[in-house]
Amino acid sequence: MNQVIQNMPSRVYHSGPQASKGRLAILRTQSPQHLLWEMNHPTEPTDAMKLGTAIHTLTLQPELWDREYVVAPSQCEAIKKSDGLRCTSAPSRSFDGKWLCGIHSKGMEGRGDDKRETITEERFAQVKAIRDAVLANKYAAALLSGAAREVSGFWTEDGVDCRMRPDAWQFDHNYLADIKTTADASPAAFQRQLYAQSYDLQAAHYLAGADAVGMPADGFVFIVVEREPPHAVGVYRLADKTLSAVREERRRLLAQYRQCVQSGEFPGYGDQIRDVDVAAWSMKQIETALAEADAAT
């Protein structure tokens, strides 16, 4: 059923079996065998992914912050028996609202320990600074203002169940937007990231989803912010020519996805022997070395 669901927990959305941008990206850059592995072995989030989730929560759903996160102090709150001074070790767990290090928390497991995601004061300061930088950009702020946040969309396309979860959906202005954190948000750097991170594929997939649920969008906008100060922000829209080509590639990937799921066959890179060339830059290195050798004789 083609539908849009608001307020779906992130963990519920990501546990779904549908074809997502991430799964199509695996087919694009790796193989069906890798896709099957991902489907059966969900990976733990990396530190960069955790940072991105924290930024999304504070920027897009601040009302959920206190429910999902707890900020840890820089040092343990226990008092040492040896000298009566506060412990200076880094805390690891919170018990009944008190942060303790590994030594002082021994034997306290299960005694009112906090289940929320722990974030350090330094990381929290970084998340707030990035949030402030995004909202200080007038174009990013306009895209986010009044938009539905973290909406989950589900649809069936060419026999494949699909899903999407844009960061922001401007129903009135017909735009989808997503926040991306990166080391370099300049136009030249983001151009390289578009394919490397399959962000272009995400735009095509989400726009197809918007069409499928009867709420077509005019475009997909990337709000790109740097992780380190000064947290510069770039706002980019995928060019129509590129989007047209990626839409065609996505249709091919979706057909491959359907074939794999229906047949139960998820091949790797093939069982035939293939001729391969070195990369173009490597060939130039070889040609230069040969030319220098000929000149020396």
Q: What is the mean pLDDT of each run of 10 residues along the chain (297 residues)?
A: 88 92 97 96 86 94 91 81 83 75 72 73 95 97 93 96 96 90 97 96 97 93 97 96 97 97 94 88 90 87
Rounded CA-CA distance 25/41 in Å is 16
- Tell me the CA distances in angstroms from 95 to 73, 77, 117, 118, one per residue in order: 13, 11, 14, 12
Do 181 and 82 share a domain, yes or no?
no
The CA dihedral of 235, 239, 242, 245, to the nearest 10 degrees, is 120
Do 129 and 104 share a domain, yes or no?
no
Assigned domain for 130 exists = yes
Do 192 and 110 share a domain, yes or no?
no
Assigned domain for 283 exists = no
Write phi, then psi, for 33 (nearest 5 degrees).
Answer: -60, -40
- What is the structure's pLDDT at 109? 64
Do 73 and 23 share a domain, yes or no?
no
- What is the structure's pLDDT at 11? 85
Do 72 and 135 share a domain, yes or no?
no
Do 111 and 128 share a domain, yes or no?
no
- What is the structure's pLDDT at 113? 58
CB distance 220 to 238 below 8 Å: yes
Assigned domain for 29 exists = yes
Assigned domain for 282 exists = no
pTM of the model: 0.84
Assigned domain for 276 exists = no
Do 100 and 234 share a domain, yes or no?
no
Residue 290: exposure state from Cβ atoms within 10 A (0-12, 13-18, ≥19): exposed
Do 136 and 195 share a domain, yes or no?
yes
Do 108 and 174 share a domain, yes or no?
no
Do 159 and 15 share a domain, yes or no?
yes
Do 93 and 190 share a domain, yes or no?
no
- What is the structure's pLDDT at 112? 56
Chain centroid to CA 286: how far?
38
Do 93 and 148 share a domain, yes or no?
no
39: domain CATH number? Answer: 3.90.320.10
Domains contained in the chain, number: 2
Rounded CA-CA distance 78/103 in Å is 10
State which residues form the domain around 104. Answer: 62-115
